[in-house]
Amino acid sequence: MNHSIDQVSGVDKYAGRRSEMVKQQIYARGVRDPLVLRAMERVAREKFVPTPLKPMAYEDKPLPIAEGQTISQPYIVAFMVEALDLQPGEKVLEIGAGSGYAAAILAEIASDVYTIERIGTLAQIAASSLQDAGYHNVHVLHEDGTRGWLDEAPFDAILVSAGGPDIPESLKSQLATGGRMVIPVGTDQMSQELVRVTRLERGQFEREDLADVRFVPLIGQEGWENDTPDLHPERPQIEQTRPKTNVRTFSLIEHHGEAFKSVGEADLSGLIERNGDRRIVLLGEASHGTCEFYQMRARITQHLIEEKGFNVLAVETDWPDAARIDHYVRHRDIPPSNWEAFSRFPTWMWRNREMHEFMIWLHDFNSQKPYIDRVGFYGLDLYSMHLSSQTVISYLEDIDPQLAELAKHRYGCLMPWKTDPAAYGRAALTGAYRECEKAVTDMLVDIYKMRREYAVNDGERLFDAQQNARLVANAELYYRTMYYGSRASWNLRERHMFDTLQALIDHKGKTSKVVIWAHNSHIGDASATEMSSRGEYNLGELCQRGYADQSYRIGFGTDHGFVAAASEWNGPMEIKKVRPAHPQSYESLFHQTELPGFILPMRPGHELDLVEDLSLIHISEPTRRT
């Protein structure tokens, strides 16, 4: 039965508006359950609003009904019903009938809906509206909803549309095994968490947090004791919701996105072509423990090396560790066993299968090239204060024993903290070790003064020594600065990475072309994010400033899966489940396209209509629920 037919004309005059509502307000915000979408298409919302408001029935907002209450915004009804994971033939209990609109949506899917309303007038109106709309499988009760409907229990699903301090035990007990309840819960009447509770076997329950919300209080024996209007929000609302988008956005993403089912099957030709003749390509990642990120970075880098002549790979690791790998891949004097170089936490960031396989590929690739044309591997980070100082000393012992003795003395003030350099920062705050600052700086200056003389022997070893000396000086400042504030230490680290990049480019000459591997937080443009409001910049922004269109950034993202990580710093590696992307994130938006994976061009001048659409996406007005 079509419940939207106008009784006079026989034409459903709201059908078009209802269909548009589902596309723009429901589907576009990420609701994908076909049962929910079909129910939203079928229920005539105009039958559940006061007659003067019928023309406004399909607007993206709640509308007033009797007793100072509201009929829910369509999106929040769809959002909560989808969270309920309702199946055909199931039996549902709803707490808070309101206008009866949500009960009608439930009735389109379930076999029977039992809805309780504590306000008598609303219970009568809801029952009448549901009857008039043709829903004979909905049963309305005027009663305290916190106690449930024991005579009709158990229920496969329970939907609660008001926030309680706890989950009522009566409602939990009336859930069937495997049954789900969606309910706002919070000790503050002005703020709750929307949760889903599933009843397991032997009386156990599983709880999942869904969103931050503001709902009217759940009044009753197992809710709030009495009604306190002054504490009510003006309109109940979901505060954390999905971005408000246009259906066109999904079509544009699907049209412009270069889809692939697996990393190995991805067609990279378009991405490589878009890179053009740029000199710096920055490849991001959303974690330091996701194999697909490493696999994709390796594939892209191989293409850039083979097809575009890139000859430098600079990564987010320490210079001396990377130098050992560079010796291997460029066939210098360090044997393959020195893969063990990456021993600092988190070890799995670089000592992993994907990285190892890529290093073997690079070793083999370089074997076919003259030494001068071989691709080098370098570290950009500054955490290796102790190892770098030892590397400088070792170099000077071979080239300048007298200066080596002075280096031992100067770097000696840092030795007490070789296993815990962060502790040096705490000690430096007392002023007792301020001489270290001058000592490490003087060491760097002296090496630069001697660079012409030293370069006669081995220019590459000199360059390595200079970089390590610079790293020690910057690391000393970094660990000392980190106790004055995170912004200064973050910026110092990013500046060190950029200075190291520039040194590499200068050292390699005009033909140098660099691929950078680092976390998204480093390679994105900080000036376009909230980082800039904190006074922070990053490597990506500095590359944009220094090299403009010669730099090209490629960020990686995901929605779900598994990741190698640790629960605390220096803790053991664990395999953790990735939480789904934040509902207000682009990752969540991309996931809603249901493409298994895709590359999306976002460079200005490419796919401008899509860029504009994504730039205009905003968070919807707070959604509301009676």
Active-site residue set: 72
Q: Which residues pair with 3 in a beta bridge?
A: none
155 closest CA partner among 138, 139, 179: 179
Contact 533, 550 (CB under 8 A): no
Contact 39, 81 (CB under 8 A): yes
Distance separating the N- and C-terminal Cα atoms of the chain: 27
Contact 161, 144 (CB under 8 A): no
Contact 333, 395 (CB under 8 A): no
Q: Which residues pair with 136 in a beta bridge?
A: none
What is the separation of C-alpha 65 from the centre of its chain, rounded to a whole number of angstroms?
39
435, burial (CB in 10 Å: exposed 0-12, middle 13-18, buried 19+): exposed
| CB atoms closer than 10 angstroms to residue 88 | 9
Contact 39, 67 (CB under 8 A): no
Report the distance separating Cα 300 and Cα 459, nearest Å: 31
Report the distance separating Cα 286 and Cα 292, nearest Å: 11
Contact 270, 599 (CB under 8 A): yes
- Amino acid 10 reads G
Sheet hosting strand 376-381, strand order edge to edge: 376-381, 312-318, 514-517, 280-283, 551-554
Q: Which residues pair with 259 in a beta bridge?
A: 598
- Amino acid 251 reads S
Helices 486-508 and 539-547, packing angle to 10 deg: 50
